A and B are shown apart, each in its own frame.
Chain A
Amino acid sequence: MNPTVKAARIAGFVYLSMVVTAPFGLIYVPSKLIVRGNAAATANNILAHETMFRLSIFGDLIGQVIFICLGIALYRLLSKVNKTWAALMVAFVLVSAAVGFLDTLNNIAALILFRGGEFLTVFDKPQRDALAMFFLRLHSQGISIDEIFWGLWLFPFGLLVFRSGFLPRWLGVWLMINCFGYVVLSVIGFFFPAYNDKAFLYLQPVLFGELAIMLWLLIRGANVTALSAEAV
C-alpha cells in the first residue's frame, strides 16, 4: 500500500476509535447519573452505579491518550504539506489532552466525596453531596474549556487538508468551519448557558465535519493519483 494511503487509513482508524468511545463518558454516563440541581439523587445514582461512573473516568483518560495518538497519526500524514501548521495542530492536541487529564480529577474528587469515609465524617451527608456536586459541575466546566481546544486544533488540520492535494478541499473547509463551531458552542455555554442545548442541536451540521474526515480517511484513504500527478 502507498505510504500516504497507509498513514491516512491509520489516522482514520485511530479517529474511529475516538469517535466510538468518547460519547460514553461525555454524554451517556452524565445523562444517566447526574441529576442537575439535585445532589442527593446524583449521590444515590453514582453510588448505585459506581462501576459505570469509574468506567467513564477511565474512558475519559483513555480518550485523551487516543487523542494524542490521533494528533501524531495526522502529523505523520500531513507534516509534508507544511510542518509549522502540523506542529501547531499537535500542540493544540497536547494542551487539550493535558487539560482533559487534569479535569478527570474533578470527577475523582466527586467520587471520593460521595463515597464518604472516616475522614469525611466531620461533614454531614448533605454537605458532602453538595461539595461533590460542585466538583461534578467543575468537571463539566472543564469540558467547556477543553471544547475550545477541540475546535482550535481543527483549524490547522483543515488548512492542511485543504492544501494537501490528496484530500478533498471541501473537507478542509468543513473542518475549518467546524473549528469555529466548537468555539461558538463553548462561548455560548459560558455566557448563555440556557441556550447550550439548542446551540448544540443547530450546530450539528457544522460539527459533522470531523465525522466526515474520519470516514473519508478510513474508507477512501488518500488520493494517490493526485499525488503521483503532482510528482510528475
Chain B
Amino acid sequence: MTARTIEASPKFYARMAGICYLLGAQTSVFGQMVIPGRLVVSGSAATTAANILAHESLYRFAVVLAFITVPFHVVWTILFLKLFKPVSRSIPLLAAFVMLLACAMWTLSVLFSLGPLLVLKSTSSLSAFATEQMQALALVLIKLNGQAYDIGLVFFGLWCILIGYLISESTFLPRTIGVLYAVAGLGYLTLLWQPLAHYLYPYNLALAGPGEVSLLVWLLVKGVNNERWKAQAEAADLLGQ
C-alpha cells in the first residue's frame, strides 16, 4: 500500500485539483457557451435548426465537451474535500454535496442538449408534427439545456462562497483569493433570478473572473504551502481530540 496520501504532499493534491479545475472550466465554457453561441440563434427556431443540422459534428462535439466537464469537476471536488479538511470538518463536506448537485444538473443539461438532435433528425416518428413545430420543440429543448446549466451554476456559486470562506480561514492559501472567490460566487447566484441576471449581464459573470482565475493560477503555480497545511492539520487534530 504505497498510495500517495494527502498528508505526504498536499501540494500535489492542490496541483491535481488545479489541473482538473482548468480542464473542467475550459470544457464547460466551450461546450456550453462558445460553440452553442455560434449555432443557436435564440429568436429563430428555423435558423437554429438549420445551423445544427449543417454543423452536426460541431454540435455533437459541444455536447461531448459539456459532458466531459462533469467528471473533471467531480474529481477536483473530492480533492478539495481532502484539501480543506484541516480548516473545518463539516463545511468541506457541505461544499462537496453542493458541487455534486451542480454536476447532476450539468449532466441533465447535456441530456436536454441531445434532444434537438433526436427531434430534428428523426423524420419518421415525429412526422405527426410540421417542420416548424419540430424546430420550435428543438429550440425549447436548447433553452431547457441553458436553464439546467444555469441552475447548476447557481449551485456552483454556493460552492464558490463556501470555498471562499474556507480559503480565507485557511493558513495555506492567501485570504485575498478567498474573498475574490466568494465574490465570484455572488455573481453566479444572480442566475437564481433570471430577469436580474439578464439585467446585470455580462457584469455578473465578469465578477467570476478575478476569483476563479486567481485561485486557478495559484493552485497550478504554487499549489498550497505544505508546511502550513500540515501545521493547520495538526492543530485541527489536537482540537478534535
Contacts and interface: CB of A to CB of B under 8 A. Distances in A.
Interface of A: 37-39, 81-85, 87-88, 91-92, 94-95, 98-99, 102-103, 124, 126-127, 129-131, 133-134, 137-138, 141-142, 145, 148, 152, 163, 165, 190-191
Contacts, number: 96
B154 interface: no
Given A103-B111, A133-B125, A141 B78 contact: no
A148 B126 CA distance: 28
A88 B119 contact: no
Contact of A102 (B70, B108, B125): B108
Interface of B: 1, 3, 5-6, 13, 60, 64, 67, 70-71, 74-75, 77-79, 81-82, 96, 100-101, 103-104, 107-108, 110-111, 114-115, 118-119, 122, 124-129, 137
Given A138-B111, A138-B118, A152-B74, 6 more contacts: A39-B125, A88-B74, A102-B104, A127-B128, A133-B125, A134-B125
Contacts of B107: 95, 98-99, 145
Contacts of B127: 130
B100 A138 contact: no
4 nearest A-B pairs in the assembled complex, by CB-CB distance: A98-B104, A126-B128, A130-B128, A127-B128
A141 B125 contact: no
Contacts of B108: 99, 102
Given A94-B100, A138-B111, A138-B114, A130 B78 contact: no
Contacts of A137: 118, 122, 125
Given A83-B82, A103-B111, A191-B60, A95 B128 contact: no
23 contacts: A39-B128, A85-B3, A87-B78, A87-B82, A88-B74, A91-B77, A91-B78, A92-B71, A94-B100, A94-B104, A95-B107, A98-B101, A98-B104, A102-B108, A130-B128, A131-B126, A134-B125, A134-B126, A138-B111, A138-B115, A145-B111, A190-B64, A191-B60
